[in-house]
């Protein structure tokens, strides 16, 4: 599937704002893939579809998580986390995309996971730093992403955990596991 076909397919599933975000994520992820040597075509398709399920009703996402035997502890945390694994599932069913590397990058784009692939890392960090993002700390992560992808991810995870804690919100543990995996690799 090429870029324009993929964008045409994802557009009806997104708001205008989310579509602009998706294009920002796609351009950023492709640039990072080129810089760090990830498969550019796969990274591009994963980025285009990363928020495919963002606007699905919560009830539908909850049912899919249960029926497809996804980790049910997801249901105890923010529904913001659900669209990533549900999106990977729906992109497979509805868009016919079966490439596991593409699906993995969609599935883990919010929480991350230990030992992420290069494609997963590019989409994950592109989602955080695309040009439309303007939250505290994003510029530091943007600069770090040009030097060291793993350090940029560790920084973004730290920001997310701090952001959630400041708001008294629970933190889905996968984010900690991802952070630990990167920090341990770099310290060893
Ligand atoms: N470990 C976590 N635990 C709980 N909520 C989280 C966690 N990680 C991310 N989130 C929530 O998910 C949101 C980001 O979702 P994400 O998919 O990365 O962005 P977007 O959908 O805007 O592209 C954050 O605002 C945060 O509220």
**pLDDT at 188 (0 to 100):** 64
> How many residues belong to the chain?
188
54 located within any domain? yes
49 located within any domain? yes
Give the domain range for residue 110: 3-134
**pLDDT at 186 (0 to 100):** 81
Give the closest residue to 42 by CA, choosing from 130, 108, 101, 84: 101
Probe target for ligand 1 pocket from 105, 110, 129, 166, with the most ligand atoms within 8 Å of CB? 110
Any residues with Cβ below 6 Å from ligand 1, and which? 51, 54, 77-78, 80-81, 109-111, 127, 160, 164, 171-172, 175
Q: Assign 48 a pLDDT band (cuts: 50, 70, 90).
A: very high
Mean of pLDDT values over 64-81: 97
Is residue 187 pLDDT above 90, yes or no? no
- Quick count: other Cβ atoms within 10 Å of Cβ 57? 8
* Interface confidence (ipTM) of the complex: 0.91
81 located within any domain? yes
Give the closest residue to 91 by CA, choosing from 171, 13, 24: 13
Domain CATH for 86? 1.10.3210.10
94 located within any domain? yes
Give the closest residue to 183 by CA, choosing from 129, 112, 135: 112
Is the pLDDT higher at 95 or at 186?
Answer: 95
- Number of structural domains (the chain) is 1
14 located within any domain? yes
156 located within any domain? no
Digit-coded pLDDT (tens) for 19-39: 999 999 999 999 999 999 999
**CA 158 to ligand 1 centroid distance, Å:** 12
143 located within any domain? no
Give the whole-angstrom CA distance, residue 92 versus residue 100: 9
Minimal-distance CA residue to ligand 1 atom 1: 172
**pLDDT at 65 (0 to 100):** 98
172 located within any domain? no
Digit-coded pLDDT (tens) for 105-163: 999 999 999 999 999 999 999 999 999 999 999 999 999 999 999 999 999 999 999 99
Judge whether 88 and 106 are in contact, CB under 8 Å. yes
**CA 148 to ligand 1 centroid distance, Å:** 22
**CA 184 to ligand 1 centroid distance, Å:** 23
DSSP 36-76: HT--HHHHHHHHHTTTTTTTS-HHHHHHHHHHTT--GGGGG
Digit-coded pLDDT (tens) for 83-108: 999 999 999 999 999 999 999 999 99
Minimal-distance CA residue to ligand 1 atom 25: 80
pTM metric for this prediction: 0.96
């Amino acid at each position: 599937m090429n870029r324009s076909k993929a964008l045409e397919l994802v557009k009806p599933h997104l708001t205008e704002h989310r579509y602009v975000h998706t294009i920002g994520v796609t351009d950023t992820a492709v640039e990072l893939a080129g810089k760090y040597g990830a498969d550019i075509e796969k990274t591009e398709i994963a980025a285009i579809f990363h928020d495919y399920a963002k606007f699905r009703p919560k009830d539908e996402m909850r049912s899919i998580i249960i029926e497809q035997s996804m980790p049910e502890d997801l249901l105890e945390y923010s529904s913001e986390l659900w669209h990533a694994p549900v999106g990977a599932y729906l992109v497979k069913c509805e868009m016919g995309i079966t490439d596991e590397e593409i699906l993995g990058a969609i599935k883990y784009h919010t929480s991350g996971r230990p030992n992420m692939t290069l494609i997963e890392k590019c989409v994950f960090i592109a989602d955080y730093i695309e040009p439309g993002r303007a939250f505290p700390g994003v510029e530091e992560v943007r600069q770090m992403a040009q030097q060291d992808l793993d350090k940029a991810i560790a920084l973004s995870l730290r920001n997310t955990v701090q952001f959630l804690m400041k708001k008294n919100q629970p933190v889905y543990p996968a984010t900690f596991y991802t952070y630990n995996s990167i920090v341990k690799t770099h310290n060893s």
